[in-house]
Homo-oligomer: A and B are copies of this chain.
């Protein structure tokens, strides 16, 4: 792959500063860049590194200048970066067709342009859309539908009655549609409540590696369009994750949690069952969401409180030994004052 700066500028609606005929053969980091590589300069603090780098050109926003060097200037450099990276690095793909070692049930419907890898199991009633890819070792049990241009990586386990949209990516080791955690005590033991609902995953979703999305008890667990899950995210039964929400690594949603649109849950956050989190709300790392949260709030802690208040509380928390001492000193002072008053009254 080789492109001139002029060609790249056309692709990303940018302008060239410097030599439009300069040839770009790769997108690299500062440390790795050679004379024909393009490097992203996302913030002013990287300008020094840029000027010391031998990179062939820099991808910059409106306000940044790497003096005397070739630049590609765009309004949103990170977005342009995503575009040119994809140009130079097409996504991982399988060979076309169904691998001879795969097993596809006779009743499954596989689009001719779908790609099915080695040792994949596609069970009865499944359907695979055009251009979708199922990587080696993945299992689709029964009545699983996979939309067009969706990619499911290796060793993913999908139970029955799971619907996956188009343009979605599911990373390796994830489990979709296993039973929700539901039991009822009969006086002697916990009896399983059968989990007979389904899972519905929207379009343009990304599910990280080793995630778990449980099937609903009744009805459907939903992960809506544009949601991005990091690794190790747990979605309990009957949850609804609203459009374009971001769930960072190791987040756990208890059963029945409902997230609005554009919610962000930072790493290791957990939620109580059946709470709601409003549109656009941000929950900071490790928080325990024990009650519903209104839209567009930014919170921390367990129970979550307004984030800046939490920060102030944390600072004081670290000083608790001194504060406790100060309180005891004050108690003594006051006691002395009282004594003196009593003595003075004698």
With A160-B92, A326-B331 known to touch, is A191 a contact of B79 (CB < 8 Å)? Answer: yes
Bound-state CA distance A179–B244 (Å) is 18
Bound-state CA distance A78–B310 (Å) is 40
* Chain B residues within 8 Å of A127, by CB: none
Which stretch in A5-13, A15-23, A210-218 binds the other chain? A210-218
Which stretch in A46-54, A58-66, A181-189 binds the other chain? A181-189
A136 touches B139 (CB 8 A): yes
A109 at the interface (CB under 8 A from B): no
Bound-state CA distance A248–B182 (Å) is 11
B313 touches A317 (CB 8 A): yes
A175 touches B173 (CB 8 A): yes
CB distance from A270 to the nearest CB of B (A): 5
A341 touches B334 (CB 8 A): no
* Chain B residues within 8 Å of A291, by CB: none
* Chain B residues within 8 Å of A272, by CB: 285
For A157, the closest partner residue in chain B by CB is: B172
| In the complex, per-residue mask of A304-325: 1 if CB is within 8 Å of any chain B CB, else 0 | 0100011011101110110110
Instruction: Kindly identify, within residues 214 to 239 of chain A, every residue whose CB is under 8 Å from any CB belonging to chain B.
Output: 214, 218-219, 226, 228, 230-232, 234, 236
* Chain B residues within 8 Å of A138, by CB: 137
B172 touches A175 (CB 8 A): yes
Bound-state CA distance A254–B103 (Å) is 38
| In the complex, per-residue mask of A277-295: 1 if CB is within 8 Å of any chain B CB, else 0 | 0000000011010100000
* Chain B residues within 8 Å of A103, by CB: 99, 101, 118-119, 136
Bound-state CA distance A162–B7 (Å) is 32
A155 at the interface (CB under 8 A from B): yes
Most B CB contacts (10 A, CB to CB) among A181, A204, A316 go to A181
* Chain B residues within 8 Å of A172, by CB: 139, 157, 159, 175, 178
Bound-state CA distance A212–B249 (Å) is 10
B334 touches A333 (CB 8 A): yes
CB distance from A227 to the nearest CB of B (A): 9
Bound-state CA distance A214–B209 (Å) is 9
With A270-B285, A316-B324 known to touch, is A79 a contact of B186 (CB < 8 Å)? Answer: yes
CB distance from A298 to the nearest CB of B (A): 15
B288 touches A192 (CB 8 A): no
A337 at the interface (CB under 8 A from B): yes
A44 at the interface (CB under 8 A from B): no
CB distance from A108 to the nearest CB of B (A): 13
| In the complex, per-residue mask of A166-205: 1 if CB is within 8 Å of any chain B CB, else 0 | 0001011111001101011010011111101000000010
Which listed residue, B142, B210, B312, touches A321 by the CB 8 Å rule? B312
Could you give 25 example pairs across A and B, Cβ below 8 Å?
A79-B191, A82-B191, A101-B103, A103-B136, A121-B137, A137-B138, A153-B178, A154-B157, A155-B157, A172-B175, A173-B175, A183-B228, A210-B212, A232-B232, A249-B254, A250-B250, A250-B270, A252-B267, A268-B268, A270-B285, A309-B318, A312-B320, A313-B317, A313-B321, A316-B324
